[in-house]
Amino acid sequence: MDRRELLKMIAVVTGGAVIGSEFFLSGCTAGGKADVGFTPGNIALLDEVGETILPATSSPGAKAAQVGEFMKVFVTDCYPQESQDAFIKGINELDDACKKMHSKSFMDCTPEQRRDLLLSLEKEAKDFNKVQEEKDKPRREELKKQDKEYDFVPSPRHYYTMMKQLTLLGFFTSKPGATQALRHEAVPGRYDGALPYKKGDKAWAE
């Protein structure tokens, strides 16, 4: 699975294109703030959010792939400033929502409580992102008429959508994700277009 295919898969799963994906693929930076404001506490919380989305089973989970650190690098290098600000603000909003639902911080919650919170944020994010897409539509269409659609920068999506996208991307491009959750062959052999598939087989890593 190459990076473009992975980004398409994540877009389908999360209902929207991965913000900053063009910069991720090209190796360029988006020109946002060089110091977004991540703290060790932020990164630890993002690891636990990621682990709730992709928990360890017979293969490693998101925390083993250090998705919190991946999010820090991706948001710093690939997000425009408006999305950077929304992401950092979202870390606090997630904890506030958790305290409202469970009367304690996300880090103090049980796995079941964490899962319940993220399920509620998933629903909230779907409605929020729909509003953002409608708001963006006139600007996108105008740029498309001018053949300048590549200049379009979408409004920030819900912070949970961004966290979920980056959890999936960070995990499946990591060593644990590519070699243990997916099937990986370090030295590719011959191409076989009719390789037998058995139900339950893992997908191939890049």
pLDDT at 187: 38
Q: Which positions ≥6 away from 202 have C-beta within 8 Å?
A: 181, 182, 183
pLDDT at 177: 62
| Nearest-angstrom CA–CA distance, 166 and 31 | 19
pLDDT at 108: 98
Query: CA-CA-CA-CA torsion for 73, 66, 3, 197, nearest 10 degrees?
Result: 180
Q: Residue 103: how many CB atoms within 10 A of its CB? A: 9
Q: What is the mean pLDDT of each run of 10 residues along the chain (206 residues)?
A: 76 82 72 90 97 91 95 94 96 98 98 97 96 91 86 88 95 75 43 51 46
| Nearest-angstrom CA–CA distance, 37 and 43 | 11
> How would DSSP label each residue in 24-73?
HHHT------S-----HHHHHHHHHHHHHHS--SSS--TTTTTHHHHHHH
pLDDT at 188: 44
pLDDT at 17: 80
pLDDT at 179: 64
